[in-house]
């Protein structure tokens, strides 16, 4: 049981890191100088799915950490 929790924890951590790195935020050239021109950003399509998946992976990661401490 402990071994399964550890494996889920490691896999969710790696997938969460990849999900965070794949998300782009202000990736335009002017964004570095503070002139992005976009005040409100709406996530759509694949970007929204990636965002939601990252949140779910974070919840799984924290849940397995807590479960690992209890066991």
Determine the pLDDT at residue 19.
92
SS (H, E, C) 53-71: HHHHHHHHHHHHHHHHHHC
Residue 11, in any domain of the structure: yes
Residue 33, in any domain of the structure: no
Residue 58, in any domain of the structure: yes
Q: C-alpha angle 17/18/21, rounded to 5°?
A: 85
Determine the pLDDT at residue 70.
87
How many residues are listed for the chain in this entry?
A: 71
Determine the pLDDT at residue 35.
55
Predicted model pTM: 0.73
Distances 18 to 15, 34, 41, 44, 66 between C-alpha atoms, Å: 5, 26, 22, 19, 22
pLDDT of the chain along its 71 residues, tens only?
A: 789 999 999 999 999 999 999 887 655 444 555 555 556 677 788 888 999 999 999 999 999 999 988 87
Determine the pLDDT at residue 34.
57
Residue 54, in any domain of the structure: yes
């Amino acid at each position: 049981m402990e071994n399964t929790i550890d494996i889920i924890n490691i896999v969710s951590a790696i997938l969460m890191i990849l999900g965070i790195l794949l998300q782009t935020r202000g990736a335009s050239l002017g964004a570095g100088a503070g002139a992005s021109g976009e005040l409100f950003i709406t996530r759509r399509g694949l970007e929204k799915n990636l965002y939601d998946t990252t949140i779910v992976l974070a919840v799984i990661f924290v849940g397995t950490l807590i479960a690992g401490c209890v066991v």
